[in-house]
Structure 1
């Protein structure tokens, strides 16, 4: 099996969106072993791993049209699998959840592990934001804390030309995405699989 490059991955995800079975097979071949390794780290019993894998792939199948960055499909799958594993470890429901992950995470009385996962994700975002150039970091902060602000307001606050806001935002989000993917890969390869 060859590794799918970022350019090829965009094509594979696009083809999977269109219902191409070969594209789905490529995704399963590429990411299936990684998802199984996540289940091993959580010490999920072998008889449950298949259900969690199926639920993860089903989430992607149902949400692939909303995936904004095809290159992030691997990270999206890993986070989704971790969430299902956390749910399984918590023992709240031995059956695979059928609702969307957002609905599941919003349910009262969630497992403490879910909070830890969110804290881990927030820390990862903070680390990535800290690595952005100050101009990009300030712009993203202003847009996150005041999402209704007009470009003219942001321009005045940040002493940035109105015409530079969109391109700066795009560069900042692209760089942030790459930093988060790098962090995800580093975390994935740093954790040895449990036996």
Structure 2
């Protein structure tokens, strides 16, 4: 089914716009697993994943008439789901994971708008990381590039007491999350005032 949707995405989106329930079911079947994977990368509790997915589909339902490029649907859904996940994480004051940043890099075969979107997201993360204090930036870098490293190894590499790693990581991720949200708000405000 996913292959069929990918091959006929324009037609499936057109049918969904017209209210075809089978078209909507096909879209959910094709893109639903990807949305759940995004939520897992944000460590969203399983009982909230369905709510965030549903909110993402509701956004599409309400805005599908404005979707000008059906081939960008997957990117649009992914960005919308990430935003809902970020807001959910911010609301709970939980850590925002560093895993999953690789997906923001441009992949061979991406549509031009997908590559541009990923490049913009990667640039936002790099800018936010650059604004972190050096110790926090180093800690996040080591934990992101070697996720299986034990705290004792990180402590030895960075000269940080083992007991300080968890709290330092939590502060760093909280600050990174706030910087990214501030940048997203500023970008949204700039786009609104420019229109």
Alpha-carbon RMSD? 4.6
Cα distance, 1:192 vs. partner?
3.0
Q: Is the 8 A contact 2:155 2:165 kept in 1?
A: yes
Aligned partner of 2:146 in structure 1 is 146
* Shift >6 Å, 4+ stretches: none
| C-alpha contact 2:139 2:169 (8 A) present in aligned 1 | yes
List per-residue Cα deviations over 1:85-135 (Å, max 9, x = no partner): 8xx544438xx66xx849xxx997431110100000000001100111111
- Name the counterpart of 1:188: 188
- Where do 1:173-184 residues align within 5 Å? 173-184=173-184
- Residue 71 of structure 2: which of 92, 96, 101 is its match? 92
Q: Assess, with a 3 A threshold, how the Cα gap between structure 1 residues 178 and 159 changes in structure 2: closer, same or farther.
A: same
Q: 1:154 to 1:123 in 2, by over 3 A?
A: same
- The answer to whether the Cα contact below 8 Å between 1:90 and 1:111 also exists between their aligned partners in 2 is no
More relative contact order, 1 or 2 (CA 8 Å, 6+ apart): 1
Correspondences of 1:157-172 after superposition (within 5 Å): 157-172=157-172
Number of equivalent positions: 131
TM-score for the superposition, normalised by structure 1? 0.50
1:43-62 counterparts in 2 under 5 A? none
Aligned to 2:124: 124
Partner residue in 1 for 2:113: 113
What is the distance in 1 between the residues matched to 2:69 and 2:157?
46
Structure 1 residues 23-102: aligned runs within 5 Å: 63=36, 66=40, 68=43, 88-92=67-71, 101=78
